[in-house]
Amino acid sequence: MNQIKYTLCTLLVCPALVAFSQGKHADVLSEADSLYTIGNYKAAAGKYVTYLQDTSTNAPAWNRAGFSNQNIGNYAEALRDYQRSLANHPAPFIRSSVNSRMARILSIQNKTGDAAEALVNAAKLGFNPLPDLDTLADFKNLRQSADYEPAKKKITEIIYPCLADPHTHDFDFWVGEWDVYATGSRYLVGHSVVQNISGGCAILENWTSTQANAGKSINYYDPSDGKWHQDWVGSGQNISHYFNGEYRDGAMNFEYEGVNAKGAKIKGHFRFYHVDKDTVRQYLELSADGGKTYQPSYDFTYVRKKAVN
Protein backbone atom coordinates (compact mmCIF):
# COMPACT_ATOMS: atom_id res chain seq x y z
CA MET A 1 0.00 0.00 0.00
CA ASN A 2 2.79 2.41 0.89
CA GLN A 3 4.47 1.67 -2.47
CA ILE A 4 1.21 2.46 -4.26
CA LYS A 5 0.90 5.76 -2.35
CA TYR A 6 4.50 6.59 -3.25
CA THR A 7 3.89 5.82 -6.93
CA LEU A 8 0.74 7.93 -6.99
CA CYS A 9 2.55 10.77 -5.24
CA THR A 10 5.33 10.59 -7.78
CA LEU A 11 2.97 10.60 -10.75
CA LEU A 12 0.23 12.93 -9.56
CA VAL A 13 0.85 14.98 -6.44
CA CYS A 14 4.53 15.33 -5.76
CA PRO A 15 5.49 17.05 -9.03
CA ALA A 16 3.49 20.05 -7.91
CA LEU A 17 5.17 19.96 -4.51
CA VAL A 18 8.58 19.64 -6.15
CA ALA A 19 7.84 22.58 -8.45
CA PHE A 20 6.76 24.62 -5.44
CA SER A 21 9.93 23.65 -3.62
CA GLN A 22 12.13 24.51 -6.60
CA GLY A 23 10.38 27.84 -7.02
CA LYS A 24 10.96 28.62 -3.38
CA HIS A 25 14.61 27.58 -3.76
CA ALA A 26 14.98 29.85 -6.78
CA ASP A 27 13.59 32.72 -4.71
CA VAL A 28 16.41 32.19 -2.21
CA LEU A 29 18.97 32.51 -5.01
CA SER A 30 17.24 35.63 -6.28
CA GLU A 31 17.37 37.15 -2.78
CA ALA A 32 21.05 36.21 -2.47
CA ASP A 33 21.88 37.79 -5.82
CA SER A 34 19.98 40.96 -4.93
CA LEU A 35 21.84 41.29 -1.64
CA TYR A 36 25.12 40.60 -3.44
CA THR A 37 24.40 43.30 -6.01
CA ILE A 38 23.83 46.00 -3.38
CA GLY A 39 26.93 44.93 -1.42
CA ASN A 40 25.19 43.43 1.61
CA TYR A 41 27.67 40.57 1.63
CA LYS A 42 26.94 39.25 5.13
CA ALA A 43 23.28 38.69 4.36
CA ALA A 44 24.11 37.43 0.87
CA ALA A 45 26.53 34.83 2.26
CA GLY A 46 23.78 33.41 4.48
CA LYS A 47 21.34 33.17 1.59
CA TYR A 48 23.92 31.48 -0.62
CA VAL A 49 24.55 28.88 2.11
CA THR A 50 20.81 28.16 2.17
CA TYR A 51 20.62 27.88 -1.58
CA LEU A 52 23.81 25.96 -2.33
CA GLN A 53 23.69 23.47 0.55
CA ASP A 54 27.12 22.03 -0.42
CA THR A 55 25.59 20.12 -3.35
CA SER A 56 24.86 22.72 -5.99
CA THR A 57 26.63 22.68 -9.34
CA ASN A 58 25.90 26.39 -9.90
CA ALA A 59 29.45 27.65 -10.48
CA PRO A 60 28.53 31.37 -10.74
CA ALA A 61 26.62 31.17 -7.45
CA TRP A 62 29.61 29.53 -5.74
CA ASN A 63 31.75 32.36 -7.06
CA ARG A 64 29.38 34.99 -5.67
CA ALA A 65 29.18 33.13 -2.37
CA GLY A 66 32.97 33.14 -2.20
CA PHE A 67 33.15 36.86 -2.87
CA SER A 68 30.51 37.50 -0.21
CA ASN A 69 32.52 35.52 2.35
CA GLN A 70 35.69 37.23 1.21
CA ASN A 71 34.22 40.68 1.83
CA ILE A 72 33.25 39.82 5.41
CA GLY A 73 36.65 38.27 6.17
CA ASN A 74 35.65 34.60 6.05
CA TYR A 75 38.65 33.68 3.95
CA ALA A 76 38.64 29.92 4.56
CA GLU A 77 34.98 29.71 3.55
CA ALA A 78 35.63 31.94 0.53
CA LEU A 79 38.47 29.74 -0.73
CA ARG A 80 36.26 26.68 -0.26
CA ASP A 81 33.49 28.33 -2.27
CA TYR A 82 35.90 29.31 -5.04
CA GLN A 83 37.25 25.77 -5.28
CA ARG A 84 33.71 24.44 -5.63
CA SER A 85 33.05 26.97 -8.36
CA LEU A 86 36.11 25.77 -10.27
CA ALA A 87 35.20 22.12 -9.67
CA ASN A 88 32.00 22.67 -11.66
CA HIS A 89 33.91 23.71 -14.81
CA PRO A 90 32.55 27.24 -15.31
CA ALA A 91 33.03 29.39 -18.39
CA PRO A 92 36.46 31.04 -18.81
CA PHE A 93 35.28 34.46 -17.60
CA ILE A 94 34.02 32.88 -14.36
CA ARG A 95 37.30 30.99 -13.91
CA SER A 96 39.25 34.20 -14.45
CA SER A 97 37.12 35.98 -11.84
CA VAL A 98 37.58 33.15 -9.35
CA ASN A 99 41.36 33.08 -9.83
CA SER A 100 41.74 36.84 -9.46
CA ARG A 101 39.66 36.82 -6.27
CA MET A 102 41.53 33.86 -4.82
CA ALA A 103 44.79 35.69 -5.50
CA ARG A 104 43.71 38.55 -3.26
CA ILE A 105 43.08 36.21 -0.33
CA LEU A 106 46.31 34.29 -0.91
CA SER A 107 48.28 37.53 -0.90
CA ILE A 108 46.62 38.62 2.34
CA GLN A 109 47.60 35.24 3.81
CA ASN A 110 51.17 35.91 2.57
CA LYS A 111 51.04 32.92 0.22
CA THR A 112 52.58 35.11 -2.45
CA GLY A 113 53.71 32.33 -4.78
CA ASP A 114 50.19 30.90 -4.91
CA ALA A 115 48.76 34.40 -5.34
CA ALA A 116 51.08 35.05 -8.28
CA GLU A 117 50.14 31.74 -9.89
CA ALA A 118 46.42 32.51 -9.53
CA LEU A 119 46.88 35.94 -11.18
CA VAL A 120 48.80 34.41 -14.07
CA ASN A 121 45.96 31.89 -14.51
CA ALA A 122 43.43 34.76 -14.51
CA ALA A 123 45.45 36.54 -17.21
CA LYS A 124 45.55 33.40 -19.36
CA LEU A 125 41.76 33.30 -19.16
CA GLY A 126 41.36 36.88 -20.45
CA PHE A 127 41.41 39.02 -17.28
CA ASN A 128 43.85 41.93 -16.96
CA PRO A 129 44.99 41.96 -13.33
CA LEU A 130 47.73 44.58 -13.79
CA PRO A 131 45.76 47.61 -12.47
CA ASP A 132 44.65 45.65 -9.38
CA LEU A 133 48.12 44.22 -8.82
CA ASP A 134 49.65 47.69 -8.53
CA THR A 135 46.88 49.42 -6.57
CA LEU A 136 44.82 47.09 -4.38
CA ALA A 137 45.80 46.91 -0.72
CA ASP A 138 45.11 43.17 -0.81
CA PHE A 139 48.20 42.72 -2.99
CA LYS A 140 50.56 44.57 -0.65
CA ASN A 141 52.29 41.38 0.46
CA LEU A 142 52.70 40.21 -3.13
CA ARG A 143 54.13 43.58 -4.20
CA GLN A 144 56.70 43.37 -1.41
CA SER A 145 57.72 39.80 -2.23
CA ALA A 146 60.21 38.27 -4.62
CA ASP A 147 57.28 36.80 -6.56
CA TYR A 148 56.05 40.25 -7.70
CA GLU A 149 58.41 41.15 -10.57
CA PRO A 150 58.37 37.70 -12.26
CA ALA A 151 54.57 37.57 -11.98
CA LYS A 152 54.13 41.08 -13.35
CA LYS A 153 56.46 40.35 -16.27
CA LYS A 154 54.63 37.11 -17.12
CA ILE A 155 51.21 38.76 -16.86
CA THR A 156 52.31 41.72 -18.99
CA GLU A 157 53.54 39.37 -21.72
CA ILE A 158 50.21 37.50 -21.64
CA ILE A 159 48.08 40.64 -21.80
CA TYR A 160 50.36 42.46 -24.26
CA PRO A 161 52.09 39.75 -26.33
CA CYS A 162 53.48 42.28 -28.83
CA LEU A 163 55.68 43.81 -26.15
CA ALA A 164 57.63 40.55 -25.94
CA ASP A 165 57.89 40.04 -29.71
CA PRO A 166 61.14 41.61 -30.99
CA HIS A 167 59.72 42.00 -34.51
CA THR A 168 57.02 44.42 -33.31
CA HIS A 169 59.78 46.84 -32.25
CA ASP A 170 61.42 47.04 -35.70
CA PHE A 171 59.67 50.32 -36.47
CA ASP A 172 59.98 51.98 -33.05
CA PHE A 173 62.60 54.36 -34.45
CA TRP A 174 59.76 56.23 -36.20
CA VAL A 175 57.77 56.85 -33.00
CA GLY A 176 57.79 60.49 -31.90
CA GLU A 177 56.81 64.02 -32.89
CA TRP A 178 58.35 65.30 -36.11
CA ASP A 179 58.79 68.31 -38.34
CA VAL A 180 59.00 67.07 -41.91
CA TYR A 181 61.08 68.69 -44.67
CA ALA A 182 61.76 68.07 -48.33
CA THR A 183 65.01 66.11 -48.16
CA GLY A 184 68.09 68.27 -48.64
CA SER A 185 66.28 71.51 -47.87
CA ARG A 186 64.69 73.50 -45.06
CA TYR A 187 61.35 73.55 -46.90
CA LEU A 188 58.76 72.44 -44.35
CA VAL A 189 56.17 70.11 -45.85
CA GLY A 190 54.31 69.01 -42.74
CA HIS A 191 54.20 67.67 -39.23
CA SER A 192 53.69 64.13 -37.95
CA VAL A 193 52.91 62.53 -34.62
CA VAL A 194 53.73 58.81 -34.62
CA GLN A 195 52.47 56.70 -31.71
CA ASN A 196 52.72 53.17 -30.39
CA ILE A 197 49.15 51.88 -29.98
CA SER A 198 47.21 48.69 -29.26
CA GLY A 199 49.55 47.46 -26.57
CA GLY A 200 52.59 47.76 -28.82
CA CYS A 201 50.95 45.83 -31.68
CA ALA A 202 50.72 48.78 -34.06
CA ILE A 203 52.14 52.20 -34.88
CA LEU A 204 49.80 55.06 -35.79
CA GLU A 205 50.96 58.00 -37.88
CA ASN A 206 49.01 61.27 -37.65
CA TRP A 207 50.08 63.44 -40.60
CA THR A 208 49.25 67.07 -41.31
CA SER A 209 50.82 68.82 -44.28
CA THR A 210 51.48 72.53 -44.62
CA GLN A 211 49.01 72.44 -47.53
CA ALA A 212 46.11 71.64 -45.14
CA ASN A 213 45.59 68.03 -46.22
CA ALA A 214 45.98 65.30 -43.63
CA GLY A 215 45.99 61.57 -43.21
CA LYS A 216 46.74 58.61 -41.02
CA SER A 217 48.54 55.35 -41.45
CA ILE A 218 48.44 52.26 -39.29
CA ASN A 219 51.57 50.13 -39.36
CA TYR A 220 51.70 46.62 -37.94
CA TYR A 221 53.68 43.41 -37.91
CA ASP A 222 51.54 40.47 -39.00
CA PRO A 223 52.82 37.22 -37.42
CA SER A 224 50.86 35.17 -39.96
CA ASP A 225 53.22 36.19 -42.77
CA GLY A 226 56.15 37.55 -40.75
CA LYS A 227 55.96 40.92 -42.51
CA TRP A 228 55.11 44.54 -41.74
CA HIS A 229 52.16 46.27 -43.44
CA GLN A 230 51.04 49.87 -43.73
CA ASP A 231 47.51 51.05 -44.51
CA TRP A 232 47.28 54.74 -45.38
CA VAL A 233 44.10 56.84 -45.67
CA GLY A 234 44.41 60.47 -46.71
CA SER A 235 41.90 63.29 -46.47
CA GLY A 236 41.76 63.38 -50.28
CA GLN A 237 40.27 59.87 -50.22
CA ASN A 238 43.60 58.43 -51.31
CA ILE A 239 44.05 54.94 -49.90
CA SER A 240 47.18 52.82 -50.15
CA HIS A 241 48.39 49.50 -48.83
CA TYR A 242 52.11 48.77 -48.48
CA PHE A 243 53.19 45.20 -47.81
CA ASN A 244 56.10 42.80 -47.36
CA GLY A 245 57.60 45.21 -44.86
CA GLU A 246 60.97 44.18 -43.46
CA TYR A 247 63.66 45.99 -41.52
CA ARG A 248 67.01 45.46 -43.19
CA ASP A 249 70.08 47.50 -44.07
CA GLY A 250 69.11 50.24 -41.65
CA ALA A 251 65.65 50.83 -43.11
CA MET A 252 62.05 49.63 -43.04
CA ASN A 253 61.38 48.43 -46.59
CA PHE A 254 57.85 48.10 -48.01
CA GLU A 255 56.54 47.11 -51.43
CA TYR A 256 53.61 48.70 -53.24
CA GLU A 257 51.27 47.79 -56.10
CA GLY A 258 48.49 49.93 -57.53
CA VAL A 259 47.27 51.88 -60.52
CA ASN A 260 48.05 55.42 -61.58
CA ALA A 261 45.64 58.15 -62.70
CA LYS A 262 45.60 56.66 -66.22
CA GLY A 263 44.66 53.22 -64.92
CA ALA A 264 48.08 51.70 -65.62
CA LYS A 265 49.58 49.25 -63.12
CA ILE A 266 52.39 50.61 -61.02
CA LYS A 267 54.65 49.14 -58.39
CA GLY A 268 56.86 50.77 -55.87
CA HIS A 269 59.45 50.68 -53.12
CA PHE A 270 58.64 52.56 -49.94
CA ARG A 271 61.49 53.00 -47.48
CA PHE A 272 62.01 54.55 -44.07
CA TYR A 273 65.73 55.06 -43.46
CA HIS A 274 66.78 55.13 -39.81
CA VAL A 275 69.37 57.88 -40.22
CA ASP A 276 69.86 58.43 -36.49
CA LYS A 277 67.75 58.66 -33.33
CA ASP A 278 66.39 62.08 -34.36
CA THR A 279 66.21 61.69 -38.15
CA VAL A 280 64.17 59.45 -40.45
CA ARG A 281 64.13 59.70 -44.24
CA GLN A 282 60.93 58.57 -45.99
CA TYR A 283 61.34 57.77 -49.66
CA LEU A 284 58.83 56.45 -52.22
CA GLU A 285 59.78 55.46 -55.77
CA LEU A 286 57.36 54.14 -58.39
CA SER A 287 57.63 52.18 -61.61
CA ALA A 288 55.12 52.17 -64.49
CA ASP A 289 57.09 49.69 -66.63
CA GLY A 290 56.91 46.58 -64.50
CA GLY A 291 59.91 47.45 -62.37
CA LYS A 292 62.42 48.15 -65.15
CA THR A 293 62.87 51.76 -64.05
CA TYR A 294 61.80 53.71 -60.97
CA GLN A 295 61.11 57.41 -60.47
CA PRO A 296 60.97 59.24 -57.12
CA SER A 297 57.45 60.09 -55.97
CA TYR A 298 58.54 62.01 -52.89
CA ASP A 299 61.50 62.27 -50.57
CA PHE A 300 60.94 63.60 -47.03
CA THR A 301 63.15 63.93 -43.97
CA TYR A 302 61.60 63.71 -40.52
CA VAL A 303 63.39 65.73 -37.83
CA ARG A 304 62.40 64.97 -34.26
CA LYS A 305 60.94 67.88 -32.33
CA LYS A 306 62.97 68.80 -29.28
CA ALA A 307 61.32 68.49 -25.90
CA VAL A 308 60.43 71.82 -24.33
CA ASN A 309 61.55 72.08 -20.71
In the chain, pLDDT over 70 holds for what percent of residues? 92
Looking at residue 263, what is its pLDDT?
Answer: 83
Using alpha carbons, list the distances in angstroms from residue 98 to 87, 257, 291: 11, 51, 59
pLDDT greater than 80 at residue 21: no
- H or E segment to which residue 25 belongs: helix 14-37
Least confidently predicted of 4-13, 151-160, 190-199: 4-13
Asked if residues 196 and 172 have their Cβ atoms less than 8 Å apart, the reply is yes
Least confidently predicted of 20-29, 37-46, 99-108, 155-164: 20-29
Give the mean pLDDT of 34-49. Answer: 95
How would you classify residue 290: left for phi > 0, otherwise alpha for psi between -120 and 50, otherwise beta?
Answer: left
pLDDT band at 52 (very low <50, low <70, confident <90, very high): very high
Higher pLDDT, 26 or 115: 115
What pLDDT, in 10s, does the model give residues 270-290? 999 999 999 999 999 999 999
pLDDT band at 19 (very low <50, low <70, confident <90, very high): very low
Asked if residues 113 and 147 have their Cβ atoms less than 8 Å apart, the reply is yes
In whole angstroms, give the CA distance from residue 233 to residue 252: 20
What pLDDT, in 10s, does the model give residues 178-215? 999 999 999 999 999 999 999 999 999 999 999 989 99
Instruction: Compute the half-sphere exposure of residue 24: CA atoms within 13 Å on the CB side of its CA.
Output: 7
pLDDT band at 237 (very low <50, low <70, confident <90, very high): confident
Looking at residue 309, what is its pLDDT?
Answer: 57
pLDDT band at 16 (very low <50, low <70, confident <90, very high): very low
pTM, 2 dp: 0.73
pLDDT band at 6 (very low <50, low <70, confident <90, very high): very low
